[in-house]
Amino acid sequence: MAWIKVIDEKDATGKLKEVYEKIGGERGKIANIYKINSLNPQSMEDHLNFYMNLVYGHLDLTREQRELIAVTVSVTNGCQYCINHHAEALNAYWKNREKLNKFIDNFNFVELPEKDRTMIEYAIKLTKAPKSISDKDIEKLQEQNFSDADILNINLVTAYFNFVNRVALGLGVEFSSDEITGYKY
């Protein structure tokens, strides 16, 4: 499953068992990206809380927009684990596997509203060259009627998925077709 030791749910005790039960209750099952944190249950719980706030919290960004950022960042980083997980989630909104596959192959081959296109261009730039972000990039988002709170959340969702991609890629987190399905969206 991974390049470091992972404690399975059936072997969990104490705080780890509590966190596994919390994740299973909120998400329907426990993804390998959480299990990789099993040696540090507090980081697993903090990770879950941050994820739930950014992806499911009450923000003005739609869930579709958040999943669009997740897939964009994950494709940019080449993180197959996160691409597969969040492509499933994005397709819950698109309901169009062909469009999804085209998007994964090349962002430019899929027609998107200009607002969403500007959002993912920011996410790509922040992922590839964070030092190059300037006030001009923020102005482009503002021109698409994103509020400052929206821009903060676009930035946070982008940064979060860059973090998760690095955890998955850096520790060899794997997935199977069964592991990427069956979650509560």
Annotated domain spans of the chain: 9-56, 63-171
pLDDT of residue 178: 78
Task: Read off the pLDDT band of 181 (50, 70, 90).
Answer: low
Say what angle helices 135-143 and 114-128 make with each other, to 10 degrees: 160
Using the predicted structure, report yes or no on whether residue 41 has a pLDDT greater than 70: yes
Tell which CATH architecture fits domain 63-171.
Up-down Bundle (1.20)
Least confident span in 17-26, 119-128, 149-158: 17-26
Contact between 44 and 38 (Cβ < 8 Å):
yes
